[in-house]
Amino acid sequence: MINSLLLPCKVFKFPPKKFERPKGFQNKGPKMELTITQPDDWHLHLRDGDLLEAVVSHSASHFGRAIVMPNLKPPVTSTAAALTYRESILKVLPTDSNFTPLMTLYLTDTTSRDEIKLARRSGVVYAVKLYPAGATTNSQDGVRDLFGKCLPVLEEMVEQNMPLLVHGEVTDPNIDIFDREKVFIETVLEPLIQQLPRLKVVMEHITTMDAVRFVESCKEGYVAATVTPQHLLLNRNSLFQGGLQPHNYCLPVLKREIHRKAIVSAVTSGSKRFFLGTDSAPHERQRKECSCGCAGIYNSPVALSLYAKVFEEAGALDKLEAFTSFNGPDFYGLPRNISRIKLRKTSWKL
């Protein structure tokens, strides 16, 4: 595919001297350039072993930090495991990289309050991920009893100001797969927030106008959402266009065009409640192209360009930087990056 896109081309390790904040494109003759604060990825799967080594530089070359998902085999359920995983990521980073992995814990029915205290004290664990058991890749050890067994842990997370990151889908096979996010909001998220209004929640990879409305209806600073490039660019037709397209299969699954449009409007509106989370989820090719393929779209090499394309097409390039680089750290209470990245519009082949 050949496309004319804003391609990340340079990272400034510190602000260039006499830097002036760009208002959208700097149209310099044939070169169209945009310089923004270096983005972070607030939802990323780096895996481990050979796969980790193969993919990490694609994130590290564009993003300053990333929230690293814990759904390994076995999952990262303890601070000790998160520390070990972090070391293995740092070990395979390019030597000149400043990329910082922000670790997460995988919530189970047996996670203890003490584990949350340990996680907070570690200084390297930034959130806890809720996978409803059976919802997606490596979620079999996930949560089965959120309002029962997990409640004390959730209360401790409120105490520790530790965000809960949510895979927002019910797992009941009788619920239509396209309705699972909406039903999750109604049956899990709304009651959860009523019960624990001070819990910080990130609804990950939102896919519906229902999720947009829900996030917008909550108290700012407590509930936010990440948005992937694929849910901004594709609708469910992309799964079947010209034949079954396994590389467009992820969870939550792509939805109708009205939902895609609602998500584009939300992120390009300038709202602080939405921020960049690629959900880049690499799988080996034979696990995607087979009779029962895995869910997950690997997008980290192109994600930033794809987000820029969405904002450009919506006439909202002036809102891109807040989405990619401000709203996430502000929600997590972390400093914004100081480095900047330059995007240059060019024709390129994926």
Q: How far is the CB of 201 from Zn ion (least distance, A)?
A: 16
Comparing C-alpha atoms, which of 6, 10, 8, 15 is closest to residue 337? 15
205 is catalytic: yes
153 vs 250, beta carbon nearer ligand DOR:
250
- Which DSSP helix (H) or strand (E) runs through 191? helix 190-195
Given 199, 251, 267, 303, the residue binding ligand DOR (CB under 6 A): 251
Q: How far is the CB of 137 from ligand DOR (least distance, A)?
A: 4
Name every residue whose Cβ is closer than 8 Å to that of residue 87 and which is 6 or more positions away in sequence.
none
> Applying CB under 6 A, which of residues 250, 262, 316, 343 lies at the interface with ligand DOR?
250
| Residue 71 in contact with ligand DOR, rule: CB under 6 A | yes
Peptide bond preceding 252: is omega within 30 degrees of 0, i.e. cis?
A: yes
234 binds ligand DOR per the rule CB under 6 A: no
The residues binding Zn ion (CB under 5 A) are 279
Burial 81-90 (b: 16+ CB within 10 A, else e): bbeebbeebe
Residue 281 touching ligand DOR (CB under 6 A)? yes
Query: Is 167 designated active site?
Result: yes
Residue 296's binding partner among ligand DOR, Zn ion, none (Cβ under 5 to 8 angstroms by kind) is ligand DOR
Contact status, residue 281 vs residue 297, Cβ threshold 8 Å:
yes
Task: Give least dist CB 138 to ligand DOR, A.
Answer: 6
Q: How far is the CB of 229 from Zn ion (least distance, A)?
A: 13
Q: Judged by CB under 6 A, does residue 137 bind ligand DOR?
A: yes
Strands laid side by side in the 2-12 sheet: 2-12, 340-349, 31-37, 26-28
Q: Of 167, 182, 200, 255, which one interacts with ligand DOR (CB under 6 A)?
A: 167
Strands (E), 107-214: 125-130, 164-166, 201-203
**Which residue of this chain has its Cβ atom nearest to ligand DOR in the complex?**
296
Contact between 228 and ligand DOR per CB under 6 A: no
Rounded Cα distance between 76 and 79, Å, is 8
Cα–Cα distance measured from residue 119 to residue 76, given in angstroms and rounded to the nearest whole number: 12
113, 152 in Cβ contact below 8 A? yes
Interaction of residue 143 with ligand DOR, rule CB under 6 A: no
Q: Which of 40, 45, 62, 283 is catalytic?
A: 45
Determine the residue with CB nearest Zn ion.
Answer: 279
247 in catalytic set: no
Distance in angstroms (rounded) separating the CA atoms of residues 70 and 66? 12
- Token duo for residue 288: 């995607």
Length of the chain (residues): 350
Phi, psi (deg, nearest 5) at residue 13:
-70, -20
Q: Is 45 a catalytic residue?
A: yes
Q: Which does 39 bind (CB under 5 to 8 A by kind): Zn ion, ligand DOR, none?
A: none
Interaction between residue 51 and ligand DOR (CB under 6 A): no
100 binds, among ligand DOR, Zn ion, none (CB under 5 to 8 A by kind): none
CB 182 within 8 A of CB 174: no
Nearer to ligand DOR, 8 or 142 (CB): 142
Q: How many residues bind ligand DOR (CB under 6 A)?
A: 10
Q: Enter the DSSP assignment of 297.
A: B
The CB-of-296 to ligand DOR minimum distance in angstroms stands at 3
Asked if 296 touches ligand DOR (CB under 6 A), the answer is: yes
Is 92:127 a contact under the CB 8 Å cutoff? no
Catalytic member of 62, 200, 205, 231 = 205
The answer to whether 279 is a known catalytic residue is yes
For the annotated catalytic residues, the residue numbers are: 43, 45, 129, 167, 205, 279
